[in-house]
Each structure stands twice: as structure tokens, then as C-alpha cells.
Amino acid sequence: MGQNVQQAVPLPVYSDARPVIHTVVPPAAYARHIPHYEDQNHMYQTVDSTVAGDEVRFEDFREVKENMQLLEKKFRDLEGDHVFGSAAKEMCLVSGLVIPAKFKTPDFDKYKGHTCPKSHLIMYYRKMAAHVEDDKLMIHCFQDSLSGASSKWYLSLDQNRIRSFQDLSDAFIKHYKYNMDMAPDRRQLQSMFQHDKESFKEYAQRWRELASQVEPPLAEKELAELFIDTVQPQFYEKMVGSASLGFSELVAIGARVEYGVRNGKLAAVVGTSNANQKKFSGGFPRKKEGETNVVTAGQGRAPPRRRPQQ
């Protein structure tokens, strides 16, 4: 039967005088006359009123509802609303997420893709310690701890490959493993020095921050020995006999030495300026610009003394 042909459906006779006939117009015939409704129940009532009037109601709306649902889906597809329908679910990395009541997203340190991914995961676990058993919540909140390029990496993940937070952790470590391979080593620590306008405590903090990224981690004794080897002579003289102390104790000694020198209670060691005392391989001080070695005549022999004139 064509879509534009009306179908007469006889209904039970309500009066002996005349039967009541309800005419049903197929959906395609009146689809263009139906506006878009957000409330589906309101839509059904309007269609019923338009087609049959207020006098007669269907006993069975099943077929009409199915047709109207199909029309509604087509309208949404034409208007582009499908982006916010089933396609939106595919855009989410985790489906079926249930956020616990009174849950508040922690204030995460943002990972920008330049540091150790393992360290970032450890900090994330600690902030989410109360929810580590909830894989979906762990996966969902992880994006809030990312920034810049790492956020784009998260958006590119395939939900079919991320079934648990362990899958996400493995993918994260694998993608940013190069930062672990490029981690600072002992040689880089040994080449550090204190800048001219940098306080001893500021230098110690900068040095310690870099040392914390060395893999495998440094033992406390080795940490202290490496640090002492990088300080200026005036600090080295006071700290070399205290290498058995912890790092924080060494920093306290250095801060006292610096205070004593600044207030004239300790004599500053001559030639400790970083501009003229930077070290290079071999541990020897670099020569000042324009400085040359004294070369004697006679292939290393002292020049002959002149006899005093008579």
C-alpha cells in the first residue's frame, strides 16, 4: 500500500445511528507537518489530536509510537542532533560511569609531558587513594591531571583498548617512557654549580630537585658526597668533614657559612666566583679569558743570568 493512501480503520460502534470511523494517515504523509518536540509525550498527544480530533482515542498506540520514534530519530539525524546521542558515548573513554555522591575532583599537579610519567602516576594514585578500586572513576578523572600535549594524547585513546586503569597506566608509561630514558644522571649532577646571584639554599634546592629524578635513586651517603663536590671552596672547606650527615644538615651548614661570610664573621675564600671558577673535566679551574701560561725560553730551561757590569 502506498504511503500517501489513507487507510480506513472501522472502530466499534458507539451509536446505533452511525458508526464512528477513525482515519489514520501514515507517518510519511504528515511528517512534514509535524514540528520538532522535545517532549515526546506532548508530541503523541498532538498527533492524536491532529489526526483523530478529541472525540476518539486509540486503544493500541504501539505501532504509532514506533513510527513516531523512527521519525524523531530521522529528524535528529537531519538536524545534527545525533552528535549528542549515540556518537557522544563513543567519544567517552569510559561508559557507564557512576560518580560517587559528594565526590570532589582533587587538585592534581598537571602533567605536561616533560617529566617522569611514573612519578606522575604515583602522585595521582595518592590523590585518588580512596577510589583506587573504581576503575571507571580512575580512568575518567585522569584527564584532569593532564595538560597540553598529554591532554591531546588522552583524547586519542581508543576505548576498546582501555578496559581498566591498569591499561591506561601501561599506555601512559609506554608513551612517555622517553622521559625516563632521558632522566638526569650522576654526571649531570656533578656538572652543576651555584650561580652568582643564587643563595646557597636556592642552589641546594635546585640541585636536590634534579637529584630526585636520577634513576636508580641515590643513596643518602652518595647524595651528600656528590653535592659537596659541587659547592664553592668556602663551603667545601666547612662541609667536607661532615659528609656523613644528611642532605638537610649539609644545607644548614652551608647556609651558616654563607651568613658568616656576608656579615664578615668568616673570610671569603679568594677566587670563588663562579664566573672565574667553573669546573670542567679533570676538576681543574677554567682559565680566565685572555690568561696564558708563562713559557720560559730555552725549551723549558731558565734564561741565563746577566753578569753585573763592572
User: Which pLDDT tens digit goes with each residue over 174-232?
Assistant: 999 998 888 788 888 999 999 988 999 999 999 999 898 887 888 888 999 999 999 99
State the pLDDT confidence band at 279, using cuts at 50, 70 and 90.
Answer: very low
The more confident residue out of 280 and 105 is 105
Say how many C-beta atoms besides its own lie within 10 A of residue 211's C-beta. Answer: 20
For residue 47, which amino acid is it? V
Query: pLDDT tens digits for 15-37?
Result: 555 554 444 445 544 444 444 44
Report pTM: 0.44
**Selected residue with higher pLDDT from 56 and 254:** 254
Give me the amino acid identity at 11: L
Of 225 and 53, the structure prediction assigns the larger pLDDT to 225
Q: Please, which residues have CB within 8 angstroms of residue 266's CB and are 6 or more apart in sequence? A: 234, 257, 260
Query: Would you say residue 48 has pLDDT above 90?
Result: no
Q: Is 108 helix (H, G, I), strand (E, B) or coil?
A: coil
Give Cα 231 to chain centroid, integer Å.
35
Contact 172, 157 (CB under 8 A): no
Q: How many CB atoms lie within 10 A of CB 252?
A: 14
